[in-house]
Structure 1
Amino acid sequence: MKLTGALVLLGAALLLTSEGECGICPAIMKELDLFLGPSVTEYVDYVSQYKNDTATLENAENLKICIDNKLTADDKANAKSLLDKINANAFC
C-alpha cells in the first residue's frame, strides 16, 4: 500500500475515534471490516442501511471493487492490524 493511502487511513481512523471512549465507533469498525473484507455485496448491503439511494450504492460498489483490485491481501491485513492497534491503544 502506498504511504499516502496508509496515512489517509490512519488519519480517518484517528478522526473517527471518540473522545469519551477509546477505540473506533463500532458501526465504523464494522464498515471498515466489510470494506476490507472479500464481499462487495455485504459491504453495499451494509451501506444501504444508512443511505439507500442509487448513486450512493453505485459509488460504494465501485469503491469496494477498486479497493479489491488495488490492495493486496497483505495490504488489507496491514490495514486491519492498524485498526486493531488503534482500538487496543489506551490513549486513543
Structure 2
Amino acid sequence: DDLCPALRDTVDLYISGSHEAYVEQVEKYNQNSDVLETANTLKSCTDEKLTPQDKQDTLNVL
C-alpha cells in the first residue's frame, strides 16, 4: 500500500463508512468547528451523490 494506514482508514470511512464514524474520525485530529462542519457537508454530499459502484471504484483506485 502506498497510503499510510491512518490516511487509508480515513478515506475508507469517508467513502464507505457511516456519516457519524467519519465525522468522529475527523474530530480525533481537529476540533475546529469550521473543519467539522465542512467534513459533515462533504460526507453528506458523498453519501447522496456517489452510487455504490462509484464508491467501490474509488476504493479500488487506492
Q: TM-score range by the shorter chain?
A: over 0.9
- TM-score, structure 2 as length reference: 0.92
- 8 Å Cα contact 1:47-1:60 kept in structure 2: yes
Aligned residues: 62
Runs of 4+ that moved beyond 6 A: none
The residue that corresponds to 1:27 in the other structure is: 6
Between the aligned residues of both structures, percent identity stands at 37
Name the counterpart of 1:73.
52
Paired position in structure 1 for 2:16? 37
Who wins on radius of gyration, i.e. which is larger?
1
Gap regions ≥5 residues in structure 1? 1-21, 84-92
The gaps in structure 2 that reach 5 residues or longer are none
Q: Which has the higher helix share?
A: 2
TM-score by length of 1: 0.64
RMSD: 1.0
